[in-house]
Structure 1
Amino acid sequence: MKKNKLTMAVVAGIAGVAGMANAAQYVNPEGHGQVLIYPYYSVNNGLNTLYSVVNTTADTKAVKVRFLEGENTLEVLDFNVYLSAYDVWTGALGPFTSTIAGHVGEPSGVHVSSDTSCAPFLNKAGQEFLPYTIDEDDATGNTSMRRSTDGHFEVLEMATFIGPTIGWADHGATGVPANCGAIQADWDDNNFYDTADEDLVTGGLFGSASIVNVAEGLAMTYDAIAIDEFWTGGVGSHSEPGSLLPSLAQGDLEAIVFQNGAAVSSTFLSGAEAVSALFTKQAIYNEYALDSIVNGKTEWVITFPTKNFHVDEVVSAIPPFVNTWNGSASCHEFQLTMWDREEQEETVSTGGVSPRPPAGENPQLCLEVNVVEFILPGGVAGAESSIMGSDNLVTVTTPSIAHATENGWARMEFNDDDGTAYVTSAIAGADYVGLPVVGFAAQQFSNGGAGAGLLAQYAGLFVHKGRVVSQ
């Protein structure tokens, strides 16, 4: 798909980059691309997560939809979807109790869809999350499907088509693919798509998700983050349904990062490091609101979407991460400074965070998806967060010296306790300081005084702002 000429001209002019026709992968500010990253899902606390994937092009596309648990980014469900021209795929996640041997009775999740688009082998009426990669994780005793109840997910375009697959996937006037069975039958005999009518990846995907609390009448929505030019030269990888491939590690080795209005190109040793560079922030910023009169709550979702490639099944962690996954944790320190709305400042000490870090160390984020809950001074940290119901939880207490303790903003910086920076190192171009992070702040309010006999519920979701630092 051809990019907007004006946009690319501006990028080329700012960056002084020649030959943008062979552009490296980048986060597309226009919101569409070849890969979509959805920073969070949850089926805890009675929540459902609804999502969509939209094909804005005239091409028929094969996409991989993959759900990843929140501790070590291990796959709990994936499947192929074949989108016809201008098609939309939708699905939903809900709470479930595992029925799989070795996990019977454990909290889990289930995927359902009423969409007619072709998704070979998928039980659209209700496919529960699967434990097989969790069962292979390192630590005995940390294999519960509870790990799958929150996490993040991704969509990767694998191919477009120039032959029979176009007609098989097309919905026509009926609204139903003409021959999804033919696509499934092709995969049924071996791990190769024998029809072999694949063509280059063209991008043009966008998506969104909604985290819905049906019981309380709340919905929080966000747009998926789009990576464009992910595949080198548009050559994708059309894998069979259920395959762990393709992955974010297979992308172009060159990444374009936007910093202070300029596009900077760097080349990395691996595709995973290139994707990490796209999301690396030295610091993130967001607000908190805990107005007691409306039972205010705030949680920050902090997701490291590429962490697994850096810390799992490696002898030593691959930068910018420095600690390998030990079966239950891979911890990295942060510093959190808060300001209330009247300029009062406080840096979180060991006494203001739970779980409390060892003496002399900064607080830590130890999982792939982390939920940071803000509570007022004197508040008690729970075992699960109050909005998302997550036990991947760090709790912080807001400033005790503030004039307006209930509201403010915070800056989270990613540095080791001795001040050493986490760095994603390039083999050519700029290195990036910090950790690859995506996420948002979620806020919820309940107004019992909205009117006689009325309870008004409100919620909002605010994407993190960040600081990009290169060296």
Structure 2
Amino acid sequence: MKKNVLALSIAAMIGGFAGAASAQTFTAPTATKFEQSEGGVGHILVVPYFTTQNDNMSVFHVVNTDTTNGKALKVRFRGAANSDDILDFTVFLSPYDVWTGSVQADANGSYFMTADNSCTYPNIHGQKVSFVQDRLANGWTAEKRVNNTKEGYVEILNMADVKPGSDLFKTIKHAANGAPACADSVLERTLAINPTTEGAAATLGYDTPTGQLTGDWYILNVAQTTTFSGAATAIKAVDDAGANARGKFVAFPQDNQSTGLNNDLYTADPLFKTTGAVFADNSPAVNLVAAVNYDFPDLSTPYLTSTATPEEQASLLTQAVANTGVSNQFATDTLIQAKTDWVLSMPTRRYSVGANYAATDAKQYRVFNPLVVTAGGARFFDAGSTTVDTDGNICVTTTSNTFYDREESSVRNGAVISPGTAKIISLCGEVNVLAFKDTGTSVLGATVARQTAAVTYENGWGQVNYTRPLPVVGSSFIKLTNSGGAANGFSGTYGITWPHRFSK
């Protein structure tokens, strides 16, 4: 990426890094666009849903398939209601490395644990790390704040590669005993870098990111002997020819200090913006939440050579994920006690619209970035296409839904959403769970942004469509019970996970 000459000069004067005139540089970035990777390998991974509700635990695996370079990753957990950051940290992977971790819950909400040897910063190996509630609404009850740590989604971004031979590479490389050194003296140096100090970062061993990450997840309920699993949604940064390419270096320090930069250049998040964001009444929304280093990078931080602004970045990323509708199967067959939940997750919605919890005027609750748009220039979300429900979740209404049985019969707009009699599905929250014919504790036990669909048919499939493209990903989670299984000494419950099919 281009050097910020002023920042480099200042850094040299105050000793930000040694030898500015002879500083090393990165390999030039070459990526010009994003595409959703059918092969599951990419620069960005999104786990559409995690949950610790109803005694569930969620487990994640990330694989570095790059056989040469190490990887510096930002891992961020976001809440289901408004995509609030509830935990983030940095992970370093060496070539061939696999990193694993899990989310479980106690009385204080979700917590993260990893016994994996791969380096993290800060070092959280073997620790019980509680999810952070600082960005949740102060006006919520303690119970609601805890509950809002129990569901959400995960975003994983390759911020930078780590070059072989560097001190950083050597300390994250696994030794013969299977464990890297993870030397604090080396990892602490990462607190002195940001995207403008190219020389310092290159000297440390960083280079521009090449992706090559894959990810998997599973949701496990030991008591109910049920497991659901799937692959993370992968977004690949490619060049004009469609080949895997290098993105821009976007690593920030993993601390809570002010960036000292113009944050408008690094995020499209409307709650962080000092210019450009607007409320529902179109009045300016300015710096509603003070961003610090750990807030960066997010998925809107300019990553491509074709994105000079975070709005351009967020637009291209959302376009890569967006579709006009999803379809999947459901089963509620009473003979096998079948139950179904659909997860409809919108992992880039936060860059178009966020909730201003401090608002005293309803017109200033929804905050928009009007420059995050489709390829045709239309906004993905605006005041006219969104509403707010009684829980404070921001909703977008779908245009139609059609449900079919297994014998070709169909009912258009046949899923009556309970409570009430509305026949059009509203997606309220960043991560929505639609429970089929189940008003109790459904398959996933979701509560943050959950609805019940009283479909006419016992088994079949359905399709949900929207008026404009939306960044929806997710799966159908079907649970079955073999009533004779437990009595005969083997598992009586089974989980099936089918990813949504979609149309562009």
* Fold similarity call, TM over 0.5: yes
Residue of structure 2 equivalent to 1:128: 130
Distance 1:328 1:336 in 2: 25
2:324 maps to a residue whose letter is Q
Q: Residues 29-428 of structure 1: matches in 2 within 5 Å?
A: 29-57=38-66, 58-98=68-108, 108-124=109-125, 125-135=127-137, 144-162=145-163, 163-187=166-190, 196-229=204-237, 233-242=246-255, 243-252=294-303, 269-312=311-354, 315-316=367-368, 318=370, 319-323=379-383, 328-334=392-398, 335-348=400-413, 352-356=416-420, 362-375=424-437, 381-382=439-440, 384-399=441-456, 405-414=457-466, 421-422=467-468
Q: Please list every run of 5 or more consecutive structure 2 residues that lacks an aligned counterpart in the other structure.
A: 1-29, 240-244, 256-293, 357-365, 371-378
Bigger mean CA deviation after superposition, 187-196 or 206-215: 187-196
The RMSD of aligned alpha carbons is: 2.9
* SS of equivalent to 2:482: strand
Task: Give distance in 1, aligned partners of 2:351 and 2:57.
Answer: 28
- Structure 1 CA distance, aligned partners of 2:443 and 2:430? 19
Q: Distance in 2 between matches of 1:341 and 1:254?
A: 48
Q: Which amino acid aligns with 1:339?
A: Y
Segments of structure 1 that go 5 or more residues without pairing to the other structure are 1-20, 99-107, 256-266, 400-404, 415-420, 423-433
Q: In terms of mean alpha carbon deviation, does 405-414 or 322-331 score higher?
A: 322-331
- Count of equivalent residues: 398
Partner of 2:496: 460
CA contact (8 A) 1:311 1:325 kept: no
The equivalent residue for 2:474 is 439
Q: Which residue type is aligned with residue 331 of structure 1?
A: C
- Over 3 Å counting, the alpha-carbon distance change for 1:291 and 1:32 in structure 2 is same
* CA drift at 1:27: 1.3
Whether the 8 Å contact between 2:167 and 2:204 is mirrored in structure 1 is no
Q: CA deviation at 1:45?
A: 0.7
Give the drift of 1:357: 6.4
Deviations 1:220-256 (A, max 9, x none): 110011111179852221112251111111245699x
Secondary structure in 2 aligned to 1:229?
strand
Task: Supply the distance in 1 between the matched residues of 2:140 and 2:424 (Cα, whole angstroms).
Answer: 28
Residue by residue, what CA displacement relative to the aligned partner does 1:354-377 show, whole Å, maximum 9, x if unpaired? Answer: 13367xx833111000000111xx
One-letter amino acid matched to 1:234: G
SS at match of 2:180: coil
In structure 1, give the amino acid aligned to 2:237. Answer: E
Q: Which residue of 1 aligns with 2:5?
A: none
Which residue is 2:363 aligned to? none
8 A contact 1:96–1:128 mirrored in 2: no
What secondary structure, in the 3-state scheme, does the structure 1 residue paired with 2:314 have?
helix
The superposition leaves residues 176-196 of structure 1 with CA deviations (integer Å, 9 ceiling, x where unpaired) of 112432233324678787763
Q: 1: distance between equivalents of 2:424 and 2:193? A: 51
Q: Is the 8 A contact 1:64 1:157 kept in 2?
A: yes
Change over 3 Å in CA distance of 1:46–1:268 after alignment to 2: closer
SS of 2:179's equivalent in the other structure is coil
Offset from partner CA, 1:151-188 (integer Å, 9 cap, x none): 10011011112321111111120211124322333246
Contact between 1:110 and 1:126, CA under 8 Å: does it hold in 2?
Answer: yes
Q: 1:251 to 1:286 in 2, by over 3 A?
A: farther
Rounded to whole Å, the distance in 2 between the matches of 1:123 and 1:293 is: 46
